[in-house]
Amino acid sequence: MNDVGWQARATKQQHEISRLESEVSRLEDVRIQQETSIQHLHDTVGKTSEEHGRKQDQAAHTVHALTSELRTTKQALEDVTKRERQVFGSFNCYSVDLSQYYSYYYYYCFCPVFSERRLNCCC
């Protein structure tokens, strides 16, 4: 009977070993799937990060270019305004308030620059 007990015990252990091997195989498959998923996510994060960096660099370059262009435009506008003041400042321009004759605010400007009467020209 001793042999039968040992055989039953050996068979039971073989069955347990077989079950554990199949469980290890199943867990190995899950590990491989998870590893693939993690690698895919890692690649996606890398691509997204790289794309974000490119877009951020492009945005910074665009802001720099626009800032430079705005500075140039502002300087040009200031130069034109300065020249206009130099030109118009040397003429005697006077205006007449005609609001007493009209129901709304109304000025006529007698301006030698335009050599004609104009409504609100440069005064």
Tokens of 106: 């109304």
Average pLDDT, the chain: 79
Q: Any idea what DSSP says for residue 95?
A: E
CA angle 69, 75, 77 (to 5 degrees): 100
Each residue's pLDDT tens digit, 79-105 = 888 887 777 665 555 555 555 665 555
| Beta strands per DSSP E along the chain | 94-97, 107-111, 116-119
What are the counts of helices (DSSP H) followed by strands (DSSP E) for the chain?
Answer: 1, 3
Range of 14-18, 79-83, 112-116 with top mean pLDDT: 14-18
CA dihedral 98, 102, 107, 108 (to 10 degrees): -70
Each residue's pLDDT tens digit, 99-110 = 566 555 555 555
pLDDT (0 to 100) of residue 43:
92
| Distance in angstroms (rounded) separating the CA atoms of residues 123 and 111 | 9
Check: pTM over 0.75? Answer yes or no: no
Quickly state the pLDDT bin for 14 (edges 50, 70, 90).
very high
| Distance in angstroms (rounded) separating the CA atoms of residues 73 and 71 | 5
